[in-house]
Structure 1
Amino acid sequence: MPYFHDIDPIALQLGPVAVHWYGIMYLLGFAGAWFVGEYRRKQGRLPVSHEAFSDLAFYVMLGVILGGRIWYMLSYVSLDWIVHDPLAIFRVWDGGMSFHGGLIGVLLAGWIWSRRNKVHFFDTIDFVAPLVPIGLGLGRLGNFINGELWGKITDAPWGVIFPSALDDLHKTREELHQMYLAGQLNGQARHPSQLYEFALEGVAMFAVLFLFSLKPRPRYAISGLFALLYGVFRFAVEFVRIPDQQLGYLAFGWLTMGQIQSLPLVIIGVVLLWLSRRAPTLQPDLVAANASVSTKEVA
């Protein structure tokens, strides 16, 4: 029997203030990335001071939030909101964040920080890349809790019935639950594509990138592997995920906006991995990790 999604997206109600699980997932993602990043910094993986790393974490956090939200509102939502509901861009707790926009925000934040701290841009991005799947995976859990971004109809035993996908029935959640218990909604089970993305973009990517980065790697290699993995995983999951309603399929009856925006990442990943073959390798520097010392490279 399929699972009936009945998770309250609000974790805690404090008077007029509602604390959403989606926001909590983002906070946990930032916290997890900070602790893992600090652990790797102490190993000399990015030989800068604790204060400099804290600045980088703050820049990246702003890049994720601003870039992800702005890109989503410009790419996935009708631009009418600019005139009729401009405050919609601030309602992050309702969901609606774009990974590709967040990535652009992270790259911009990393570039600004790198210039200020005189660190090679790709040494910074190679350091940040293994941390991103932590927040990315938890963000996908937030999507699942919100009951959004669900997949196509499936008869797989792990299918999930999302009440938010049944608005056309004009039933209350309680009425839908009674129909579910009576077996009347079994044909409405969908792929929990959010959990597929959690497993691939979160767990699998973190495991691969973290293990890969335990050994010093040539510049560009970690960033290239990140871009390649994400592009492939996201492109694949889009085949079982319902496209954004306001956009639908853009071509061939299957091509989605997510796939179009992921293809460049696959290409970039391959190019960066190719460039890494002749690039220098940043060596761990425990001295510089505890004092602001210039980075050390070997050819």
Structure 2
Amino acid sequence: MEILAAIPSPGTSEIELGPLPLRGYALCIIIGVFLAIWLGGRRWVQRGGQPGTVADIAVWAVPFGLIGARIYHVVTDNQLYFGEGRDPVDAFKIWDGGIGIWGAIAGGAFGAWIACRRRGIALPPMADAIAPGIAFAQAIGRWGNWFNQELYGRETDLPWAVEIDNGLDTGTFHPTFLYESLWCLGVGLLVIWADRRFRLGHGRAFALYVAAYTVGRFWIEYLRIDEAHEFLGLRLNNWTSIVVFLAAVAYLVLSARSHPGREENVEPRPDGEDGSDADGSGAEGAEAEADGGAAGAEDAEPSSAEPSADGEDAKPGKAQATTLEKAKPSAEPDAEESADRSEETADEPATKDESETAENADEGITTAKSAEK
């Protein structure tokens, strides 16, 4: 049957950026990582976290995720790197493609756990914040398989079939990379909607992402024709999808029972900032405190006017006025005595001066009489 339309594959897996060639596979991963960090950062702030925290966590999570993804791929597809005619060094050439999403999730979660412990943050709320971003990153990253012409499905003549000419297979095949890319896009949108609708917390948004992804991955594995280990007629990734799906669903149910709702405080406040929450609870506490102070002042004012035990009304300020009146007579004599003392003190120098003047006058008269004699 003649193929009327098909998705062409790129002629090369490299993109020329000036003098530096960039692998299309690596470019897809880089774009996906930056998208996940950007979206995760926005969601983290919306949940009460601090700006820049997700980027700091990614410094640990991304390298661990890449290492875990590569290890998972090498272990599950070891026949590609070990054995007769194989070069074990190729196991380190991650730029040639070959990573496993389950290893990426496990390794990335371990790296994020280390970073969260260093910052005093719980891992579940962080996982909820970045869950849809991871799904969107996968949607972009899967196009790296298109650049490398790998991980395609069975032969088909559908209009959206992908053309493959990699020296091993030639023809049109199911574009499993496209199927998974669209599926991951839908998973990310599903998580965002469910998170807003049901206020998922305590890791349930991440568990929903994992459960939804495994459903699509289980179906896509049936279409792939690349070599893979099988057990009881199922590919290894099919079994992994089943186990992970059951674990994610169990976590969703148990977590909803033990920790309903969403976390209130996802990240400690930096030193020097007040502890008021983003929803204004700190302002409400201040208003309540001010209201309490005003109420206390109002309660204190009428207390002096309350009836006394003997039935008489105590007028405000009466006791203070009585005390002043009693103290006034005793204060007046003191003032008079002070005035008398001041007058006596002022008179003493004057009397002394007058006595000295009189004595000098007498001496002058005596001297004059002596001279006359």
* TM-score normalised to structure 2 length: 0.65
Shift of 1:13: 5.9
Distance in 2 between the 1:117 and 1:39 partners?
A: 18
Report the Cα offset of residue 120 of structure 1: 2.4
The 8 Å contact of residues 287 and 293 in structure 1, kept in 2 or not, is answered as: no
Q: Give yes or no for contact 1:49–1:292 (8 Å, CA) kept in 2.
A: no
Q: Which of the pair has more CA radius of gyration?
A: 2
- Following TM superposition, by how much is the alpha carbon of 1:33 offset from its aligned partner in structure 2, in angstroms? 0.9
- Secondary structure of the 2:240 match is helix
Give 1:109's aligned residue.
Answer: 111
Unaligned stretches of 5+ in structure 2? 279-373
Q: Note the 1:134-149 alignment, pairs <5 A.
A: 134-149=136-151
Residue 14 of structure 2 aligns with an amino acid whose one-letter code is I
Aligned residues of 1:41 and 1:48 also touching (Cα < 8 A): yes
Shift of 1:284: 5.8
Pick one of 114, 130, 133 that aligns with 2:132: 130
Q: CA deviation at 1:223?
A: 2.1
* % same residue: 24
Residue aligning to 1:49: 50
Structure 1 equivalent of residue 37 of structure 2:
34
Q: Deviations over 1:97-132 (max 9, x none)?
A: 100110110121122123222222322222222221
* Residue 189 (structure 1) aligns with: 172
Any conservation in 2 of the 1:2–1:161 contact (CA below 8 Å)? no
Q: Once the 2 structures are TM-superposed, how far is the Cα of residue 18 of structure 1 from its aligned partner?
A: 2.7
| Greater Cα shift, 97-106 or 281-290 | 281-290
Corresponding residue SS for 2:196: coil
- Tell me, yes or no, if structure 1 residue 217 matches structure 2 residue 200: yes
Partner of 2:262: 282
Question: What letter matches 2:193 in structure 1?
Answer: L
If each structure's helix is expressed as a fraction of its own residues, which one has the higher value? 2
* Contact preservation (8 Å) 2:120, 2:267: no
C-alpha deviation, 1:248, in angstroms: 5.5
1:227 to 1:9, Cα distance in 2 relative to 1, 3 A: same
Counterpart in the other structure of 1:229: 212
Determine if contact 1:225/1:269 at 8 Å carries over to the other structure. yes
Q: Unpaired segments of 5 or more residues in structure 1?
A: 170-187
1:295 offset after TM fit, Å? 9.4
- Please give the secondary structure, in 2, of the residue aligned with 1:213: helix
Question: Is the contact made by 1:68 and 1:98 (CA closer than 8 Å) also made in structure 2?
Answer: yes
**Alpha-carbon distance, 1:228 to partner:** 0.9
Give the residue type in structure 2 aligned to 1:209.
V
Shift of 1:221: 1.8
Which residue number in structure 1 is paired with residue 296 of structure 2? none
For residues 35-184 of structure 1, what are the structure 2 equivalents within 5 Å?
A: 35-43=38-46, 45=47, 47-78=48-79, 80=82, 85-164=87-166, 167=168
Contact 1:34/1:57 (8 A) holds in 2 = yes
**Inter-partner Cα distance in structure 2 for 1:42 and 1:139:** 25
The alpha-carbon distance between structure 1 residues 86 and 280, as it changes in their structure 2 partners (threshold 3 A), is: same
Whether contact under 8 Å (2:49, 2:266) holds in the other structure is: no
Determine the C-alpha separation between the residues in 1 that align with 2:6 and 2:112.
Answer: 41
SS in 2 for 1:3: coil
Instruction: Give CA deviations for 1:208-248 in whole Å, capped at 9, x if unaligned.
Output: 11222235323232122112111111001111121x32x36
User: Could you state the TM-score of these two structures normalised by the residue count of structure 1?
Assistant: 0.79
Alpha-carbon separation, structure 1, partners of 2:236 and 2:141? 19
Retained in 1: the 8 A contact 2:121–2:267?
Answer: no
Q: Deviations over 1:45-88 (max 9, x none)?
A: 2x44334332211112112211111111121122527x974442
2:277, 2:229 → 1: CA distance? Answer: 48
